[in-house]
Structure 1
Amino acid sequence: MASGFALPELPPVKSAWGPPENISVARDDVPYAPFSKGDRLGKIADWSVDQTKDGREQRGRQGPFGGRFRDQYQTYGYGSSSIFGYQHTEDESSFSVIDRANVNRSRTGGRGGGTLLKVRGRGQNNQRGGARGGRWGGRGGAETTISRSNGPGANRGRRYGWKDYDKHQRNRNASVTVEPSWEMLDEVEFSHLSKLNLNVTKCETVQTCGYIYPYDKALDKISVKTERPLQVLDRVHYNPTTTEDPVIQQLAVKNAAQIFITSSILSLLMCSTRSIYPWDIVITHQGDKLFIDKREGGPFDYLSVNENAYDAPLETDEKDNNNSASALSLEATYINQNFSVQALRESDKDKHSLGAPNPFYNPSEETEPLASHGYLYRKFDLSLESDNTPVNLVVRTEVDGYTKTPANDIQYVSIKALNEFDPKVLNNTSTADWRTKLESQRGAVFATEMKNNSCKLARWTVEAILAGVESMKVGFVSRANPRDAQHHGILGVVAYKPRDLASQMNLSLSNGWGIVRTIADICLKMPDGKYVLVKDPNRSILRLYSVPLNTFEDSESGAAESSSA
């Protein structure tokens, strides 16, 4: 030992533990770090380990035990580096209203030879439903798994409903071109239409026409194993507009009502808040009467397919594409016309006449036989307590067939068909293959159709209720080959009561009548003339235009001349 070394003077202490009682005796340039006598020491001291922001111990291999006993000891001085570190005050220049932080992404192997992309977001903003949790996740940083595989399990992990805002935009064209001479009078959003209500209870049948056949109950026994091919039956089907109906013309002369319309147009107005595709109707105001018409060749002559689906069919320029929106609409109309005829037992003995003959059929000019249709002209009272004069509406409704009760009473039947084109086209896990799921999960299949075809099924239900139909027969018709749009098979038929189906679909008739009465009041206050109600092709908005009286007359006459040629 060197001769010049001497021990420093230590302050006196009364116990062998803890700091000296006179803290000022210690060095002033060394701050005091508090500790507890109950701390279990694994190391004497470790001043280099930082403490995490949330106060938890930092994970990893620390010390000779590799972190295996980190819950049993705490190193003296742990986290002290952050205590002595300089904390800078907040810099207001870095403040931003928008969170521009990147989302952490990690890739792991997925089933089916694909890749699973795990996205972990920042709190509730990562979820579709905000702070309440999205449809496919809960609160906070929930994890969503998206499959990006082209293998056998490609769609197994796909979660729909999340990040809907990020899907490609579907810009549709308007059903009619708005001319510069048209004057826009009013526009209303669907959110306002959904708040309207009018209870309509008074109804009477003013006239009946046509004839119908009994429903073939053998179709109720059809299953996937006993599939029956859809027959091509040439029958004449009529769907004239309101002003071309001779019965409505006679009722208008007799002042039977103030509003005249057909059930196909009325059902769309009542279910307009469910519509996605563009459409338009023509309203003519003459004196104290309104005539609500469709355009020839417009959307009312064809049925939509998967209009309300997540991936609705798109319109393409390919001529051979059987899955485009227009091709599927034509196919669905063709299926419904043939199915409504095949589902009946056509025999003169069972033929039921409704009174007057079909007002649109001329046997001397038509070579093909007439399809079975019954027309019921019914009057509904839309009056309010504040009305000085009653407001009545006459609508032409249709029935397709009838059944008999045990008491031998006749009940009207509405016959419709849902069609499946190709379950793999939509690439949607919620679209089940009918041939594999229809027998065991028929309720789930129909629930999917109610979601994908909400507007079409709601219109069918409203039309059945307006006609006083007791039962709806809905057939499931699928392609024999997914690539062949000409041959189909009937896989089953389900019967529903219209009122029960409306309740199941959350369909409010009082809301529909409120929409019709509101539009009628707006047009009745306008001067005599012609108006067009247009559904915006890409937004949930209705617009009312005032148009010249000769609008659409040139196109209709040209179409008639071309068809006759």
Structure 2
Amino acid sequence: MAETSLADIIAALPSEDSWGPSTSNETTLNGVPYAPYSKGDKLGRMADWTAEGKDGRDGRGGRQQYNRNYRDQQVYGAGTSSLFAVQLAEDESTFSVVSNTRDSAKTRFGRAGTFARGRGQRGGRGDLRGGRGQFQRVGGRGGQQQYGQYDTRGGRGGARGGRRFGWKDYDKPQRNRDASVNIKPDWKLLEEIDFNRLAKLNLDTDDGEDIESYGFLYYYDRSFDKQPVKTAERKLNVVDRAAYNVTTSSDPVIQELAEKDEATIFATDNILSMLMCSPRSVYPWDIVIIRQGNKIFLDKRDNATLDMVTVNENAADAPMDASDGSKDALNQPSALAEEATYINHNFANQVMIESDTQKVEMTHENPFYNPSEETEPPASKAYKYRRFDLSLNDEDPVHLVVRTELDAVQKNAISGEDQFITVKALNEFDHKAQGSGGALDWRTKLVSQRGAVVATEMKNNSCKLARWTVQSIMAKADVMKLGFVSRANPKSNDRHVILGVVGWKPRDFAQQMNLSLSNGWGIVRTIADMCLKREEGKYVLVKDPNKQILRLYEVPAGSFEEEEEQGEAGPVDEAAEEEE
């Protein structure tokens, strides 16, 4: 019997009972697409249909991997994976996936629609700690992006050039500031206005007209404009002069103008600038609003925070208070505010050329200075009472009278005419300390990088500089002088030196800061309308200490007068007054 091979046995079996594929004499390559490969290709998977995708990229959008040793050789089989693509059946061609999610484009850190674009303000901060909303121009027809909207990963704000969180910046505790005034239970909450609504208000007004002018002005000493030599820095001297910051209702001139029915709204430039620049504010403040008849008086309380000059209020990492864990008593917000107020008072008096023969007299004398009671000479100050038209139509006229202030006068270098100027001072405490806001060293950078120094101050002190600019524009000042004053020793706050003075035209400076006066007038008119539609009485507008919200309260008459009496008289005297 002949030997039978295993192949002959398998071939003799019937095909329907066989367990393997049917045999064929043809090659297995016939009818099957063949994809050659290069020696440089990595065969990491048995079958990888996504290794080569559209335009040479894989399914995840990454680059096609190749071995650099074979980069000059021909890549075999490129694009042949499409031959193995599964052809959809006819009944599947009309199939679609239903999704209830939005079709808006997503960025790396969330949807693009989560960023607020519009006429925002630059300056301030608003991260996950409940701070303030800072804006930064990102281009495109003045569009701006709000910093305060980060995702939970603490990443970049969705746009190139956005600020990253620092090391464990997301884990810092939220700062809880105290309100500037104690909210009592008998106060009635009337309105709550967030800063986003305030930033959208707009009201165009005229340049205003002068009604009365009081006081006098000395000439400005131009020698301060020259950069001092390092070996002979100018020291900031203590110059005691009588200066006043009388509130609106206590001003005798405003009282006379109110009796003559000159306007509907009365205010001082200090109070009005705070209200107009409120969307930039961070620290708490309050304004007392008194309605008498059809008139509105914007007042401030005694020793109010409006009288203090803040330092680095809008910095990304503002100075910390003792309650926040700061152990540096010199660089706490309250101490820095007192230091800055002291510097501004003395600096404005020091840069004057005090001469009785060379000074500009206003129409009337200083209304607050009494020679028989004051021991110090009056400071160079001119008070101009100016009127602005805030009317929306001719049928319902609304005018505002504001007391503005000018600090000095100087001769125009070209025409020789007198120019009115305002004098303010920026102060540097320690550029290496916490709360400095990344400020440069003024002693070395003020001359060579003055633009960078000013830009940093615009960012860290947006609210303060905006208020000074608004006050200068309302006073119709020709020039605004900004002095740069630094500590002689960063560890001591009692000795200072003047590093330089720079002058700007107020409107040009406002344009650099992206400051809109029409927005400020819109805020004033809106707050006034809220009070005019209500009954006569006293109201308080309070900035929330930890949120970007303004709250309007109705308070009982004589609320703050009682607090003042308690500070001056004892409880026995008060009881005696009640019995009488």
- The TM-score with structure 2 as length reference comes to 0.74
Partner residue of 2:422?
414
Residues 508, 429 of structure 1: alpha-carbon distance in 2 compared, 3 angstrom cutoff = closer
Residues 404, 411 of structure 1: 8 Å contact kept: yes
Separation (CA, whole Å) in 1 of partners of 2:427 and 2:251 = 30
Residues 222, 490 of structure 1: 8 Å contact kept: no
Residues 267, 299 of structure 2: 8 Å contact kept: yes
Residues 346, 427 of structure 1: alpha-carbon distance in 2 compared, 3 angstrom cutoff = closer
**164, 170, 179: which one aligns with 1:166:** 170
Separation (CA, whole Å) in 2 of partners of 1:559 and 1:347 = 41
Q: Give the root-mean-square deviation of aligned CA atoms.
A: 4.2
Q: In the TM superposition, what are the counterparts of 1:97-496 in structure 2 within 5 Å?
A: 124-125=108-109, 161-163=163-165, 166=170, 168=172, 169-201=174-206, 203-223=208-228, 225=230, 227-316=233-322, 321-385=329-393, 387-388=395-396, 390-405=397-412, 406-426=414-434, 430-496=438-504
Deviation for aligned residue 1:271: 1.0
1:369-423 superposed Cα distances (whole Å, 9 cap, x missing partner)? 22211111111121221533x2211111100000123544322110001111111
Separation (CA, whole Å) in 2 of partners of 1:551 and 1:473 = 39
Residues 461, 561 of structure 1: alpha-carbon distance in 2 compared, 3 angstrom cutoff = farther
Deviation for aligned residue 1:536: 1.1
Residues 426, 373 of structure 1: alpha-carbon distance in 2 compared, 3 angstrom cutoff = same
Deviation for aligned residue 1:297: 1.1
Deviation for aligned residue 1:289: 1.1
Q: Which amino acid aligns with 2:23?
A: V
Partner residue of 1:538?
546
Q: SS of 1:445's equivalent? A: helix
Q: Which amino acid aligns with 2:475?
A: A
Q: SS of 1:457's equivalent? A: helix
Q: Which amino acid aligns with 1:434?
A: W
Deviation for aligned residue 1:299: 1.0
Separation (CA, whole Å) in 2 of partners of 1:291 and 1:462 = 19
Separation (CA, whole Å) in 2 of partners of 1:131 and 1:511 = 22
Separation (CA, whole Å) in 1 of partners of 2:68 and 2:114 = 38
1:307-333 superposed Cα distances (whole Å, 9 cap, x missing partner)? 111011122157861110101111110
Separation (CA, whole Å) in 2 of partners of 1:320 and 1:131 = 37
Deviation for aligned residue 1:68: 4.0
Residues 478, 490 of structure 1: 8 Å contact kept: yes
Q: Which amino acid aligns with 1:376?
A: K
Q: Which moves more between the two structures, 378-387 or 453-462?
A: 378-387
Q: Which runs of 5+ in 2 are unaligned?
A: 12-20, 86-100, 117-134, 139-152, 156-160, 571-580
Q: Which amino acid aligns with 2:316?
A: Y
Residues 282, 531 of structure 1: 8 Å contact kept: yes
Q: Is 2:41 the partner of 1:36?
A: no
Separation (CA, whole Å) in 1 of partners of 2:45 and 2:496 = 76
Separation (CA, whole Å) in 2 of partners of 1:468 and 1:539 = 33
Q: Which moves more between the two structures, 254-263 or 322-331?
A: 254-263
Deviation for aligned residue 1:560: 5.1
Identity rate, percent = 50
Residues 517, 282 of structure 1: alpha-carbon distance in 2 compared, 3 angstrom cutoff = same
Deviation for aligned residue 1:130: 7.9
**23, 29, 34: which one aligns with 1:25:** 23
Aligned length: 487
Residues 179, 284 of structure 2: 8 Å contact kept: yes
Residues 555, 441 of structure 1: alpha-carbon distance in 2 compared, 3 angstrom cutoff = same
Separation (CA, whole Å) in 1 of partners of 2:137 and 2:476 = 41
- The TM-score with structure 1 as length reference comes to 0.76
Residues 215, 402 of structure 1: 8 Å contact kept: yes
Separation (CA, whole Å) in 1 of partners of 2:548 and 2:42 = 68
Q: Which amino acid aligns with 1:437?
A: K
Q: Which amino acid aligns with 1:394?
A: V
Q: SS of 2:488's equivalent? A: strand
1:333-370 superposed Cα distances (whole Å, 9 cap, x missing partner)? 01111110111111112122213221212222222222
Q: In the TM superposition, what are the counterparts of 1:77-116 in structure 2 within 5 Å?
A: none
Residues 129, 135 of structure 1: 8 Å contact kept: no
Partner residue of 1:109?
none
Q: SS of 1:209's equivalent? A: strand
Q: Which amino acid aligns with 1:547?
A: V
Residues 437, 460 of structure 2: 8 Å contact kept: no
1:92-116 superposed Cα distances (whole Å, 9 cap, x missing partner)? xxxxx9xxxxxxxxxxxxxxxxxxx
1:498-528 superposed Cα distances (whole Å, 9 cap, x missing partner)? 1111111111111111111111111111111
1:185-238 superposed Cα distances (whole Å, 9 cap, x missing partner)? 111111111222211116221111111100000001124635311111122221
Q: Is 2:523 the partner of 1:518?
A: no
Residues 430, 436 of structure 2: 8 Å contact kept: no
Q: Which runs of 5+ in 1 are unaligned?
A: 12-22, 84-96, 98-121, 138-143, 147-158
Q: Which amino acid aligns with 2:34?
A: S
Q: Is 2:500 the partner of 1:509?
A: no
Deviation for aligned residue 1:67: 8.1
